[in-house]
Homo-oligomer: A and B are copies of this chain.
Amino acid sequence: MEFKVASKILQANERIALENRRIFSDAGVYVINLMSSPGAGKTSLLETTIAGLKHALKIGVIEGDITGTDDAVRINRLGVPVVQINTGGACHLDANMINEVIPDLPLDELDLLVIENVGNLVCPAEFQVGEDMKVMVLSIAEGHDKPLKYPLMFQESAALIINKIDLSPFLDVDIDKIKKDSLSLNPSIKIFELSCKSGKGVDQWTSWLQTLTS
């Protein structure tokens, strides 16, 4: 019973996600669904990415949070269009939530739209929202056991950003194990190691992103 309901919800979501994707594609906008655990650094990555690419690409952002507008305020300071979605309790964004805010975005002026999902390493991976690509962030402070414990997110993501590498000397974390286990789950996943705080490694990420969207 529960399974049938869940399956219907996922099917309806898939239909709206395809509609969103057609709208984004018609407007010539490349769309990233950005996911991670709470506090892995999605918004910091966005700030760093916007700072690095805003002269090359016109970027817009959708911020997904259960409540509050902290992240939208942070992004708005950088002078790019941002729309805040509050899920009101729901643990992930779905295609319908995105569909409803599309009219609030200047799509025709954008090259790249980043949708920052709710901080959650589980549920967001199950819901397409109309993206071209899913990207996930993992903070090394979360530990090296995460790929094998939360496999779906690693399997669904086209790129993995291993963030907060500046903390490496102070943690017992095996970054090679993170990479090895991620690749065992998803052999085509593209992996970047960086620190949004120090800036180390950010160039490789932004350069790659630029090749995808040009």
Residues of chain A whose beta carbon lies under 8 Å from any beta carbon of chain B: 2, 5, 9, 37-39, 65-68, 70, 89, 91, 118-123, 139, 141-143, 145-146, 148-152, 164, 166-167, 170-172, 197
Contacts and interface: CB of A to CB of B under 8 A. Distances in A.
A151 B86 CA distance: 13
A70 B5 contact: no
Contacts of A121: 37-38, 119-120
Contacts of A151: 66-67
A143 to B, nearest CB: 5
A183 to B, nearest CB: 17
B145 A70 contact: yes
A96 B65 CA distance: 29
Nearest to A67: B151
A44 B171 CA distance: 13
Chain A contact surface mostly: loop
Contacts of A39: 37, 139, 141-143, 146
Contact of A5 (B5, B68, B167): B5
A122 B87 CA distance: 12
A173 to B, nearest CB: 10
Nearest to A152: B89
Contact of A150 (B38, B141, B143, B197): B38
B66 A149 contact: yes
Nearest to A41: B143
Residue from A38, A118, A172 whose CB has the most chain B CB atoms within 10 Å = A38
Contacts of A9: 2
A66 B143 CA distance: 16
Given A39-B146, A91-B91, A66 B141 contact: no
Contacts of A66: 122, 149-152
Contacts of A142: 37-39, 139, 141
Contact of A68 (B65, B70, B89, B148): B148
Nearest to A126: B89
